[in-house]
Structure 1
Amino acid sequence: MSKNLVLQTDFGLSDGAVSAMYGVAISVDPDIRIFNLTHDIPQYNIWEASYRLYQTVRYWPEETVFVSVVDPGVGTERLSVVVKTGENQYIVTPDNGTLTHINNSVGILEARVIDEKVNRLPNSGESYTFHGRDVYAFTGARLASNTISFEEVGPVVDVENIIELTKPKASKDGEVIRGNIDILDVRFGNLWTNINRELFKETGVEYGDSLEVTIENNTRHIYKSIMRFGRSFAESRIGEPLVFVNSVDKLGVALNQGSFANAYHIETGANWKISIRKVPNNL
């Protein structure tokens, strides 16, 4: 193993929860290298936890171990699992939908249920509300440090039985591309859609073309305007909207040096729909 351990939670950093996970991992092996993916996942937001793994995992070396804890079902019968991805990395997480984007992108080769009789922090058996520390950080550190092998995590579970969230697909309807707003580029307020670049290019759109962008929440009309398809933000004026290709090769919508999400009160999820069509540049 690489001894790289990457942590993601919805715990925030205002108390000792993440620090406790660090302490458990270092107690397993003081040479382990611990990194933060993020601890700012919105509380209980399994969808965002799944997306942030998808956004990040493929850029880490093989055998990196990720621990993702967004776990509204902690203490219930939901399973705790470790999966091996199609790019030879490992993810330790509750089986609650957190693996949705990974399974649909890089794929899952094998999954194992964590055997808590072996892979649980000693003397923590009466705790049912902090599996991030007692089960996930402990198991992830043992795996990353070669204290245990993947086979020693626990029994195999069928990958087809791993829980997935509903994941809408983008579509092409004539000259119109329809999709959803998957997530926000939080700090800058850009909208990240589920429309991939290849599907978008099927409409014959080129950089500099004008696009009509419509956003709806369920059946409620939220936004409609014409903007340019830009290669970079510098191709638009400050405060001007644009469509661009983001860092995961999907279409994004932004305000140059502004927050599109805040300006138009846009949120994310299956009910937030976006449609894009090319219009003549002189409109």
Structure 2
Amino acid sequence: MSKNLVLQTDFGLCDGAVSAMHGVAISVNPQLPIFNLTHEIPQFNIWEGSYRLYQTISYWPEETVFCSVVDPGVGTDRLSVVAKTSENQYIVTPDNGTLTHIKQNIGIVAVREIDEKVNRLPRSGDSYTFHGRDVYAYTGARLASGIISFEEVGRELNVDDIVELEHEQPQLDGAGVVHGNVDILDVRFGNLWTNIERELFLKAGIKYGDALEVTISNGNQQVYKNIMTFGRSFADSRLGEPLLYVNSLDKLGVAINQGSFADAYRIGTGASWRIAVRRAPKVIYS
């Protein structure tokens, strides 16, 4: 029985690139279930590709095969790999940092380099710029269909050697300040999703309803500083007010009630975008 194949790229849907990947997969197995995670990763943004995999993968059945192609280094000596997660799923991707969030938050138990002598679309050997079609979609479809096993992907690599993006761990300092990164945006609504786990936040003794001072910086530049409430939901704030909340991944989020926090303050994401949260005097909005 075929497993699911889930595709993610930064290609967009305005041309035939994604369709070509679907076509290759269906040519391998016309009965293969194929789904799109997203094809709207910002161009070349490996960090976001890594996070969107982490955001999604745990909600799919075991043995689902994910094919993630955000590959500014296509045609270079970067490796093409298949990773097996601790939840028994597979990710077909360039080894360029795309596995960062999966490795740190879920776990990777094995990695194999794709042997292109056997796992490459026939008659595509002279192309070096569309590995998403020629290598990843083809290998992913063969793996999901059971045509090849994980062991037949290629030689085994050391999990510790895979490329990881810079990614600081959240922490609680001695002064009771919680530090973390702005990992990603809830794009449609403009909320900030951080890497601060709810457990760490509560370890600081912070309770729902507390007023907190929030500081956001990009590198050494402070971008935002204000006081807001830690609420259970958006109903705990008034229209247009900022708030802290726990998002769907059980991590700290920052939002404006029915507004875009990211747009309002021009907040970005990634390792250079840092957030610090500490208790502040209660503020009552008039």
TM-score band, normalised by the shorter chain?
over 0.9
Distance in structure 2 (CA, Å) of the matches to 1:226 and 1:282: 7
**1:257-272 equivalences in 2 (<5 Å):** 257-272=258-273
Distance in structure 2 (CA, Å) of the matches to 1:196 and 1:66: 25
Range with bigger deviation, 111-120 or 267-276: 267-276
Offset from partner CA, 1:191-222 (integer Å, 9 cap, x none) = 11111111110111111111111112222221
The residue identity in structure 2 corresponding to 1:37 is: L
Match of 1:164 in 2: 164
The residue identity in structure 2 corresponding to 1:22 is: H
Distance in structure 2 (CA, Å) of the matches to 1:163 and 1:143: 23
Distance in structure 2 (CA, Å) of the matches to 1:205 and 1:212: 12
> Is residue 2–residue 64 contact of structure 1 (8 Å, CA) maintained in 2?
no
Distance in structure 2 (CA, Å) of the matches to 1:184 and 1:252: 9
**1:185-224 equivalences in 2 (<5 Å):** 185-224=186-225
- Quick one: percent identity of the two aligned structures? 72
SS at match of 1:201: helix
Offset from partner CA, 1:90-117 (integer Å, 9 cap, x none) = 0000011110111112211111111111
> Is residue 65–residue 89 contact of structure 1 (8 Å, CA) maintained in 2?
yes
The residue identity in structure 1 corresponding to 2:272 is: N
> Is residue 84–residue 90 contact of structure 2 (8 Å, CA) maintained in 1?
yes
SS at match of 1:270: coil
Structure 1's 2 and 30: CA in aligned 2 closer, same or farther, altered over 3 A? closer
Check if 1:81 corresponds to 2:81: yes
Distance in structure 2 (CA, Å) of the matches to 1:2 and 1:175: 51
SS at match of 1:239: coil
TM-score (norm 2): 0.96
Distance in structure 2 (CA, Å) of the matches to 1:164 and 1:222: 27
> Is residue 244–residue 252 contact of structure 1 (8 Å, CA) maintained in 2?
yes
The residue identity in structure 2 corresponding to 1:133 is: R
SS at match of 1:213: strand
TM-score (norm 1): 0.97
> Deviation at 1:7?
0.3
SS at match of 2:272: strand
Match of 1:99 in 2: 99
Distance in structure 2 (CA, Å) of the matches to 1:123 and 1:96: 26
SS at match of 2:84: strand
Match of 1:19 in 2: 19
> Is residue 227–residue 283 contact of structure 2 (8 Å, CA) maintained in 1?
no
Offset from partner CA, 1:105-130 (integer Å, 9 cap, x none) = 22111111111111111110001000
Offset from partner CA, 1:241-274 (integer Å, 9 cap, x none) = 0000111111010001110000011111222221
SS at match of 2:101: helix
Structure 1's 48 and 282: CA in aligned 2 closer, same or farther, altered over 3 A? closer
Range with bigger deviation, 65-74 or 185-194: 185-194
Structure 2: unaligned runs, 5 residues or longer:
none
Structure 1: unaligned runs, 5 residues or longer:
none
The residue identity in structure 2 corresponding to 1:163 is: V
> Deviation at 1:156?
0.8
The residue identity in structure 2 corresponding to 1:191 is: L
> Is residue 63–residue 89 contact of structure 2 (8 Å, CA) maintained in 1?
yes
Distance in structure 2 (CA, Å) of the matches to 1:87 and 1:14: 34
> Is residue 2–residue 63 contact of structure 1 (8 Å, CA) maintained in 2?
no
Distance in structure 2 (CA, Å) of the matches to 1:152 and 1:36: 25
The residue identity in structure 1 corresponding to 2:171 is: S
Match of 1:33 in 2: 33
Check if 1:137 corresponds to 2:137: yes
Distance in structure 1 (CA, Å) of the matches to 2:151 and 2:92: 14
Count of matched residue pairs? 283
